[in-house]
Chain A
């Protein structure tokens, strides 16, 4: 595959609908740039560093904006459209801003038979989100159901940003939320 750099692609993406309102400050400068340059040497081509580069973008900005994707595209000699195509395939890249604490509750069958639905209800109730995918009025929390987190023996596993919590029950939800108050 070859995706040459596009002269117009970046400009075409400016002013996306989901923007947070702030102008995009380049992510790949200084240490982050060095880290990406180092990472690229692990692979026979730059494109293979796309998922790691998108992680670096999201870690820095909290989500993956169109302007951010254009920057990643430029760094890896890809087109912004190609990068967007990849981003939309994966569930973990946020394509719009989310709450300060992004809560993912596993509800696939093994956790489902252990009462995961009640854990979801407790989170929706105690965070004030009310509905799945809706950020709480104070901007702190977004709760979603997630497919199998791969920790089925520790039902119910919950992710809060990068923290991986095990054996969460409706009763322990208030304690969990206190940690992220």
Chain B
């Protein structure tokens, strides 16, 4: 086990500073690196004061939606007499994304500290870290760290001698992409099938066990101790001067056809073209980057030309016709067939649909069938319209966005690489004509 590469000089290493250092995994090792000072400080503050610091920092959700974290926390009605809950979403399953895995493997106490601060700030005594079942090593590391923190009185009743109760528990999933959707995650935690729930009610009103709940991503919570230690102003400055809406550092998981795959941490607004070429080494074996999916498989696929001039923050990615999402960056080089890549993505969504909404259950399956037929050389010219019509019926019409996520790569892919689909279909059509005549 080892971290794949040393940080590049142009990275801004905050969350990933101790990746690869096995000693940082223990409670003592974490404390000697400044760990749990932020929790100690937080437990002496008013919850609303912590919310304000996080609001001021500009921290936004790192799971994909980019919702302001401090604002989300302020939706929790303090003193309402109900039990509150914090869920940490560690169901990292978005194709292309593997950043939370490294946070949990290398710095488990950073996450526990963030969870404990977050729980206290929203008036919760219990935080559940929901980790996907396939992450056997992160599960083991996190369980050991949680037990260690609890045994040392860092968490639990009377956390750090504060008289306050903050429990941090690990909960193991059992294989379902959809459980990364916040309401599905809550159902799964309650011992149910992981079907997403209709909103409203929103989790802050009626979430886990019907009680006010906040769900935050691993990376979001792991950033919180740093913000409390170094201040909101420090965090805000980690951005490009002309865009105060995206602040801090972001972990980017880079994979696919890239010379140096791995996790990179850069300041918001970093130039994407330089990032992919200089830090990640570009496409391997002298090939060229053809397409990039910057934010996990659910965001629009863009061309190298669009990616090259993009800036790596929430707004910069929107300006480049895509989204930052989870920053799970999939690189596709010119040796790959786009129809094949997109068909395989569609198959992923068809497999992972929870099947409660018709548009998603049927739409993901039809999309996959048609795309695989095209790839197999049996497509027809009508397939384009059919695919786009299905995609339209899958967008904005279901309980959650899994359906939309399947339509996104299809529509963005067809817009940019229609010629690759046409080449497959033309071949078929020519092949099919004699049969029709005959």
Query: Which A residues fall within an 8 A CB radius of B?
Result: 1, 42-45, 47-52, 54-55, 76, 78, 85-86, 89-93, 104, 107-110, 112-114, 146-155, 159, 162-164
Contact = CB atoms under 8 A, between A and B. Distances in A.
B56 interface: no
Given A48-B189, A148-B348, A153-B254, A93 B101 contact: no
Interface of B: 4, 83, 92-98, 101, 126, 132-137, 167, 169, 171-177, 188-194, 209, 253-257, 261-263, 297, 328, 330, 332-333, 336, 340-341, 344-345, 348, 351-352, 354
Contacts of A148: 93-95, 177, 348
A152 B95 contact: yes
Contacts of A152: 95-98, 253, 255-256, 261, 328, 330
Contacts of A76: 191
Nearest to A162: B136
Contact of A150 (B93, B256, B341): B93
A110 B256 CA distance: 5
Given A52-B171, A154-B261, A147 B352 contact: yes
Contacts of B190: 45, 47-48
B140 to A, nearest CB: 9
Given A48-B191, A148-B94, A92 B134 contact: yes
A55 B169 contact: no
Contacts of A93: 174-175
A113 B4 CA distance: 20
Nearest to B258: A153
A91 B176 contact: yes
A49 B354 CA distance: 21
The 5 closest A-B pairs by CB, nearest first: A50-B191, A92-B175, A91-B175, A152-B255, A90-B174
B172 A52 contact: yes
18 contacts: A48-B190, A48-B209, A49-B191, A76-B191, A90-B175, A91-B176, A93-B175, A109-B341, A110-B96, A113-B332, A113-B333, A113-B336, A150-B101, A150-B134, A152-B98, A153-B255, A164-B135, A164-B137
Contacts of B167: 42
A5 to B, nearest CB: 15
Nearest to B100: A150
A133 to B, nearest CB: 14
B255 A86 contact: no
Nearest to A161: B136
A109 B297 contact: yes
A151 B297 CA distance: 14
Contacts of B172: 51-52, 55
A155 B255 contact: yes
B103 to A, nearest CB: 12
B409 to A, nearest CB: 9
B335 to A, nearest CB: 9
Contacts of B263: 153
Contacts of B136: 159, 162-164
Contacts of B257: 113-114
Given A110-B330, A147-B352, A51 B191 contact: yes
B174 A110 contact: no
A89 to B, nearest CB: 4
Nearest to B135: A150
Contacts of A48: 189-191, 209
B134 A112 contact: no
Given A44-B209, A148-B348, A92 B174 contact: yes
Contacts of A149: 134
Nearest to B137: A164
A109 B95 contact: yes
A98 to B, nearest CB: 14
Contact of A107 (B97, B134, B188, B344): B344
Nearest to A85: B193
B166 to A, nearest CB: 13
A89 B98 contact: no
A147 B207 CA distance: 28
Contact of B330 (A86, A109, A163, A164): A109
Contacts of A85: 193
Contacts of A113: 256-257, 330, 332-333, 336, 341
A164 to B, nearest CB: 5
Contacts of A110: 95-96, 255-256, 297, 330
B133 A89 contact: no
Contacts of B175: 90-93
A49 B330 CA distance: 36
Task: Output the residue of A55, A114, A153, A159 with the most chain B CB within 10 A.
Answer: A153
Given A44-B209, A47-B191, 5 more contacts: A108-B345, A108-B348, A148-B93, A162-B136, A164-B136
A65 B209 CA distance: 28
A81 B145 CA distance: 36
Nearest to A86: B193
A152 B329 CA distance: 10
Contacts of A78: 191
B173 A51 contact: yes
B174 A153 contact: no
A155 B134 CA distance: 15
Nearest to B132: A150
Contact of B261 (A45, A90, A109, A155): A155
Contacts of B193: 85-86, 89
